[in-house]
Amino acid sequence: MSQPFESGSLGALDLTTSGETRVITRTDESLLRQMTENLDKTLLSVLACRTAEEFGKVRKEIWETYFRARRALGDTINLVIPKKFIESVRCATLERISEDLERSRTVLFGEEIAQQFEFTMWTVNRIQAVVREIEKAGNPVTGIWTAGCMRISASIRRGGNFIMTAS
């Protein structure tokens, strides 16, 4: 069975399908491709700089626009692509990045950076697992949630230790 997507180096994503099932409409796909191309052009304009001074100037010019565009792309993806598909792409992309790292860990990065990356990937996966558990639990009662957050925040500001307990 062919994959409905291909994730490339560093998580590049191609939303074309094998013809079996379309995940999104062609117009949605076209919109996402256009948004992605604009982000790529923005990043490449910074990477094309030849000096640190030029880099700083271009980065300052595009910084806010880049993050707004990145946020818009993320929001658009969440609106037009089913959640389960996004999760499968995320998992496949992380797996591919890990494989790429394993193949080139000593050549490109060195052992210390590779180990830091592995720990970061483990942390990201743990955070995602916690997010899924929170989503399964449903919406917390707002008053209790807010009060708990304020209590934790106040404790941390006073330099206190926070120990999570079940209520």
Mean pLDDT of residues grouped by 10 in the chain (167 residues)? 41 45 76 90 89 92 89 90 86 84 78 84 86 78 53 53 44
Query: Is the pTM value of this prediction over 0.75?
Result: no
Q: What is the pLDDT of residue 37?
A: 92
Q: Please state, in angstroms and rounded to a whole number, the distance separating the CA atoms of residues 27 and 19.
A: 16
Q: What is the pLDDT of residue 26?
A: 80
